[in-house]
Amino acid sequence: MYKFLQRLLQLISELAAHKKKPECACCGRCCESFGGHLATSPRDLERWRREGRNDLLSRTNRLGWIWVDPQTKEPLERCPFILKTDEQRSVCAIQDTKPDICRDYPTLAHGRRCLSGIIF
Ligand code: SF4
Ligand code: SF4
């Protein structure tokens, strides 16, 4: 019995290891929908200061909301860093230093879902 259970557990863990996680299709729908209504984390602000990213800091309002117009501080309709590569795909132009909230997608602010229903 012990051996049987041991083998069963081994099979389950092998199956879990081989199960391929669905990948983000980079359709950009989540960025298009939520990119204008996000918030920075203290870590983001600290990192952008360290990296000298005044372009990003100027697009953050005093409460930490992103993204805003650098001059008027009015919220933008859409994230200014969505880069469309073709009809179906988009990439993030600030991938290396994008805000934590984008890195942790889908957060509560995104309704914890992939808008295309592909992942998560
Ligand atoms: S909506 Fe889903 S598939 Fe599309 S970019 Fe966002 S996470 Fe990826
Ligand atoms: S910063 Fe990048 S990941 Fe975040 S909404 Fe904009 S394009 Fe998407």
Residue with tokens 């081989």: 18
Q: How far is the CA of 20 from the centre of ligand 2 (A)?
A: 25
Atom of ligand 2 nearest to the CA of 90: 7
pLDDT attached to residue 95: 95
Bigger pLDDT: 10 vs 59: 59
Reported pTM? 0.79
Give, using CA atoms, the residue closest to atom 2 of ligand 2: 92
Residue 90 tokens, joined? 């988009």
Phi, psi of 22 (to 5 degrees): -65, 145
Question: Helix, strand or coil for residue 90?
Answer: strand
